Amino acid sequence: MFPGGMNPTKMQGMMKKMGISQEQLPVRRVIFEMDDGNLVIEEPSVLRVKMQGQETYQVSGEAVLESEEELFSDDDVEMVMGQTGKSIDEVRAVLERVDGDLAEAILAIRG
């Protein structure tokens, strides 16, 4: 609703005079990557607002939390460490690179 019954066209004109512009963006999906998973908004309404040399984005829509699934467990890390003698950080990095494939990780480390 616009203040004082002002029509949207007049409001856009006033905003333009003040150096404020708005643009509706044709976005299909917005993903916020967070520590415990991704917040996903399908078919969002996204508005880009430019004002005083800065851009801001307004996102509207129904969000769903998609939790991250572990590609490997702590037991997997310990097993690869036992087979290779490498540190936990080295093993985790290789397991992430090979998408949790234990045999491939061992071969890559020994390689």
Segment 18-39, tens digit of pLDDT: 999 999 999 999 999 988 889 9
Cα 53 to the center of its chain, rounded Å: 25
Q: Which residues of the chain are in CATH 2.20.70.30 domains?
A: 20-66
| Domain 74-110 in this protein, CATH class | mainly alpha
The predicted structure's pLDDT at residue 13:
86
The CATH topology of domain 20-66 is Ubiquitin Ligase Nedd4; Chain: W; (2.20.70)
- Does the model's pTM come out above 0.85? no
Angle (nearest 5°) at CA 32 between 36 and 49: 155
**Angle, helices 102-110/74-84, rounded to nearest 10 degrees:** 30
Segment 65-106, tens digit of pLDDT: 987 777 899 999 999 999 999 999 999 999 999 999 999 999
